[in-house]
Amino acid sequence: MSELQFPLKNDTSRKIIHIDMDAFFASVEERDNPELALHPLVIARHPHDTGGRGVVTTANYKARQYGIHSAMSAQKAYELCPKAVFMPGNHEKYREISHQVREIFAKYTDIIEPVSIDEAYLDVTHNKQNIQSAVKVARLIQQEIWQEVRLTCSAGVSYNKFLAKLASDYHKPAGLTLVAPDEALAFMQALPIEKFHGVGKKTSPKMHELGIFTGMDLYQLGEMELISQFGKMGYSLYRKVRGIHDSPVNVTRDRKSVGKEHTYGNPLTTENQVLAQLRRLAEEVDKSLRRVAKHGQTIVLKVRYADYTTITKRQTLNQYIRDKDQIFSQASLIWEDVLGLEKGIRLLGITVTNLDPISYENILLPLWEKKTE
Ligand SMILES: [Mg+2]
């Protein structure tokens, strides 16, 4: 600890729960057709029907025994277990259940951060039922979810989001794991480094090269060393492995659109200025979309001229807008239609609307299709 000039502060006063539905899509299908539970079940279209394309969104626990997991290509899953049952997902149905589950959370707290369709963080430090024990809240939530939608979830309870997530992953399915402040260090030190949220396929080989295989190995490394190896992530891992992660549970409303706009005291008068601002807005919108795990197909450009006339123009694509570059290029295309620099521009705004939650299928399918072309 000698290299620390200032002792790190650790706030252990919060009570955070991470809830993760167990094999969500597959469990829903098993619930609605119990026959399916007898087989390895893969939620993906059968590779025979798609020419080998498609990606596994969820595999039930029987299918996982064959090494099948989400984000794997359906073709690979088929090779691992040809007798598995393949089913296309019913995202409408999953979304509806996800809303029902969120309503159960809302009986306890309004501080809910949905991470994806089947995962959320809850801050229950001051909860609506005045229950002291966060473990008790987690158990009640698990029971209510079971009673209302007949599905199991795993819960992790701790004083920060990072630990709560590690905890929910610790016992699955239907697990409930508490990591109390005085247990946090030992809990993390015993974990394989791959379990650390954020240490993915790209980072873990580099970790291994440096001799980091467990939380304990990570804990041994100095702050400067971690920063020089992993940049910002090293900074944050140095703290996380010491139990420090102050990120609040971000309440995100179920938004239908995400937009950013800027007003300019000195009106923009050149094409380059406008394009630079559109790029900046595209980046901001993209960042917000990722934060709420949503994407949309419609982009809206808003332009207010120096004389305060305002126009909005929208364009809908036949597929989801992928990233900041695409947001920018679509916005520039609309801009070319609008133009009118002579008046000077006082405000620019970009909004992506008609949003849907991002699911594995939506993100990975296009990537996979590209690869097989
Ligand atoms: Mg899950």
Set out the domains of the chain in order of their start, with CATH numbers. Answer: 16-21+93-240 (3.30.70.270), 25-90 (3.40.1170.60), 257-354 (3.30.1490.100)
d(CA 184, CA 243): 6
Is 323 annotated in a binding site? The answer is: no
Is residue 81 within 8 A of residue 68, CB to CB? The reply is: yes
Mean pLDDT of the chain: 90
Lookup result for tokens 């691992």: 80
5: pLDDT confidence band, cut at 50, 70 and 90?
Answer: low
Quickly count: other Cβ atoms within 10 Å of residue 372's Cβ: 11
Name which of 181, 200, 190 is nearest 243 in CA terms: 181
Is residue 77 within 8 A of residue 56, CB to CB? The reply is: yes
364: pLDDT confidence band, cut at 50, 70 and 90?
Answer: very low
Is residue 364 within 8 A of residue 296, CB to CB? The reply is: no
User: How close is the Cα of 124 to the center of ligand 1, in Å?
Assistant: 21
Mean pLDDT, residues 36-52 taken together: 92
229-245 pLDDT, tens digit each? 998 889 999 999 999 99
Mean pLDDT, residues 43-62 taken together: 89
pLDDT of residue 361: 47
pLDDT of residue 308: 79
User: How close is the Cα of 298 to the center of ligand 1, in Å?
Assistant: 29
User: How close is the Cα of 301 to the center of ligand 1, in Å?
Assistant: 36
* Least trusted range by pLDDT, from 21-25, 61-65, 186-190, 260-264: 260-264
Name which of 69, 120, 141 is nearest 254 in CA terms: 120
pLDDT of residue 253: 55
Quickly count: other Cβ atoms within 10 Å of residue 279's Cβ: 17
Q: Under 8 Å CB-to-CB from 72, ≥6 apart: which residues?
A: 55, 56
Mean pLDDT, residues 100-129 taken together: 94
255: pLDDT confidence band, cut at 50, 70 and 90?
Answer: low
3-class secondary structure, 8:
coil
Q: Which residue has the higher pLDDT, 86 or 310?
A: 86
6, pLDDT greater than 50: yes
Q: What DSSP element (H or E) covers 298?
A: strand 298-305
Q: Which residue has the higher pLDDT, 340 or 1?
A: 340
Q: Which residues pair with 153 in a beta bridge?
A: 21
Q: Under 8 Å CB-to-CB from 162, ≥6 apart: which residues?
A: 197, 240, 245, 247
d(CA 348, CA 331): 10
Mean pLDDT, residues 61-81 taken together: 94
pLDDT of residue 309: 81
176-194 pLDDT, tens digit each? 999 999 999 999 999 999 9
Kindly report the CA angle at 363 between 359 and 365, in degrees rounded to 5? 110
Is 49 annotated in a binding site? The answer is: no
Q: For 221, what's the count of Cα atoms within 13 Å in the CB-facing half-sphere?
A: 26
pLDDT of residue 366: 44
166, pLDDT greater than 80: yes
The residues carrying an active-site annotation are: 119
363, pLDDT greater than 50: no
pLDDT of residue 265: 86
3, pLDDT greater than 80: no
User: How close is the Cα of 62 to the center of ligand 1, in Å?
Assistant: 15
pTM of the model: 0.69
Quickly count: other Cβ atoms within 10 Å of residue 229's Cβ: 17
Is residue 347 within 8 A of residue 264, CB to CB? The reply is: yes
User: How close is the Cα of 241 to the center of ligand 1, in Å?
Assistant: 24
254, pLDDT greater than 70: no
Read off the tokens for 32. Answer: 């609605």
Read off the tokens for 211. Answer: 């001799």
